[in-house]
Amino acid sequence: MEQNQHTVLCVDDEKNILNSLKRLLRREGYRLLTANSGQEGLKLFEENEVHLVISDQRMPEMSGIDFMEKVNTEHPDTIRIVLTGYTDVDAITESINKGHVYKFLLKPWNDENLKLEIRKALEQYELVQANKRLHEQVLKQNEELQKINENLEFLVKERTKDLEVQNQALELSRTILEDLSVPIIGVSEEGMIVLINREAQSLSKSGNGFAIGNRLIDYFSSKIDKKMAEVLTNNLAQTLKGYQLSEEIYDIDLVPLSGDFRGKGVVVTMKPVGT
């Protein structure tokens, strides 16, 4: 805030003092208000935003101490300076304690010193206001950050629930796959066995020994390798009928994977003929 935007209120029951202050501060660029009493000064506060008030200590009806106390209560941001022609230590202490006065200056004042004190006081006012704005901004940002964290926490909980459901579905799918009464073999596009169910594992009793990590061609003839190549190329299921494996005859279905795994592998289902 620039100097010409500051409002300074001068309160004194002596008109010559008010005139002296007006002459002194006229060229400082302030918006000047004057009052002949504390009551008149309080009325001006109701109609104006006052940044700094200079008040005499000894005034009839309402002393500078009482006036500053009311200003401090009703307008705590306003900087308060007291002028007096008396060196009463008790009055000084009371003014500081009750009115939280910024400065206590004696009459007659030094013009340059008084102008300097007013500038310093208004700089203090701006510093306090800047700190308040910064504090409010920090509070607002903290509130926004808290909302973001709450939303993030909600999203994490929802995502956790989704993962739990997906994990349960995956476990259920694995269980169903394991319990199927026909051998199931998952094969990658490179021809490597990546999945077998319990029925497929049981074929090892016949000496075939299906195992994850082995190649499908290790257990079957080149016919199934060709069928698998056709399935991956055309993305259409193929059936190899009447295939003999050890002492059993199977119809072998080769079904391509779909979705994101299209072209990445096939599911081999071995159905014993006659069952």
Residue 106 has pLDDT above 90, yes or no: no
Helices (H), the chain: 15-25, 38-47, 64-74, 89-99, 111-179, 198-202, 222-234
In this predicted model, what pLDDT tens digit does every residue of 13-61 receive, in sequence order? 999 999 999 999 988 989 999 999 999 999 999 999 999 999 998 888 8
Select from 3.40.50.300, 3.40.50.150, 3.30.450.20, 3.40.1260.10 the CATH code of 180-272.
3.30.450.20
210 neighbors 199 (Cβ within 8 angstroms): no
Residue 262 has pLDDT above 70, yes or no: yes
In this predicted model, what pLDDT tens digit does every residue of 36-49 receive, in sequence order? 999 999 999 999 99
End-to-end CA distance of the chain: 93
Share of the chain above pLDDT 90, in %: 44
Q: Map out the domains of the chain as residue ranges.
A: 3-135, 180-272
Confidence class for position 94, pLDDT limits 50, 70, 90: low
Residue 208 pLDDT: 58
Assigned superfamily of 3-135: Response regulator (3.40.50.2300)
Asked if domains 3-135 and 180-272 share a fold, the reply is no
